[in-house]
């Protein structure tokens, strides 16, 4: 009887092996495959952020002859954004700004004599005790009437309103450029 059991067992081993090989692929198909995460997207550099901001300032520029953004440059070494307008230019010291203080508003530059295009402007405030900007007239003389503790960038309301999430993406770019230029980083106060 033991010999017949051995013969039957010997015959069963190939059957069990075949069954095991048949079941194994079904089990492994149920196991989740582990995909590698894509590497994180690299943070933009100061020149890349500047090009984004410059492109928006020029393409979304007001066209009223006063507030037009004629040209925009950036000195990476000094963190200075220069915006040229018809009446002169302003040097904006991004390294002096505080990323916690970025505010947008809808602005009508019309006066009692002239109606002008509606603007959207972003205002950034300098860290305490630092100069945020210096503005110059066409003769390159400093304008002492311009408040030095804030920076204002102007965009055409009608043009900016056509870009999806314009203010959100511009705010992110501005805050990152402030930090890369040596300004105060954003932090949660409460």
- Residue 160 pLDDT greater than 90, yes or no: yes
Cα–Cα distance measured from residue 17 to residue 12, given in angstroms and rounded to the nearest whole number? 9
pLDDT given for residue 48 in this prediction = 96
- The first and second tokens of residue 3, run together, are 């010999």
- The first and second tokens of residue 183, run together, are 């300004």
Out of 23-37, 40-54, 74-88, 128-142, which region has the weakest mean confidence (pLDDT)? 23-37
Listed by start position, the domains of the chain span: 46-180
Q: How far is CA 112 from CA 18, 20, 109, 127, 158, in A?
A: 93, 90, 10, 35, 22
Quick one: which of 132, 120, 127, 126 has its CA closest to 168?
Answer: 120
Helix or strand (DSSP H, E) at 80: strand 80-85
Number of H helices, E strands in the chain: 4, 7
Q: Which residues contact 106 (CB under 8 A, 6 or more apart)?
A: 118, 119, 120, 157
% residues pLDDT > 70 (the chain): 82
Cα–Cα distance measured from residue 178 to residue 168, given in angstroms and rounded to the nearest whole number? 15
Residue 187 confidence class, pLDDT cut points 50, 70, 90? confident
Residue 114 confidence class, pLDDT cut points 50, 70, 90? confident
């Amino acid at each position: 009887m033991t010999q017949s059991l051995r013969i039957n067992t010997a015959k069963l081993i190939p059957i069990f092996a075949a069954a095991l090989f048949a079941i194994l692929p079904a089990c492994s198909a149920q196991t989740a495959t582990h995909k590698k995460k894509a590497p994180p997207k690299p943070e933009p550099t100061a020149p890349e952020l500047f090009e984004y901001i410059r492109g928006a300032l020029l393409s979304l520029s007001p066209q009223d002859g006063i507030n037009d953004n004629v040209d925009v440059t950036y000195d990476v070494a000094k963190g200075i954004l220069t915006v040229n307008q018809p009446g002169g230019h302003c040097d904006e010291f991004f390294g002096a700004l505080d990323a916690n203080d970025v505010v947008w508003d809808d602005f009508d530059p019309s006066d009692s004599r002239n109606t002008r295009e509606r603007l959207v402007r972003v205002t950034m405030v300098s860290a305490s005790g630092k100069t945020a900007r210096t503005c110059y007239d066409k003769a390159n003389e400093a304008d002492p009437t311009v408040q030095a503790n804030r920076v204002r960038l102007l965009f055409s309301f009608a043009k900016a309103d056509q870009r999806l999430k314009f203010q959100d993406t511009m705010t992110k770019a501005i805050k990152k450029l402030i930090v890369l230029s040596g300004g105060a980083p954003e932090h949660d106060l409460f």
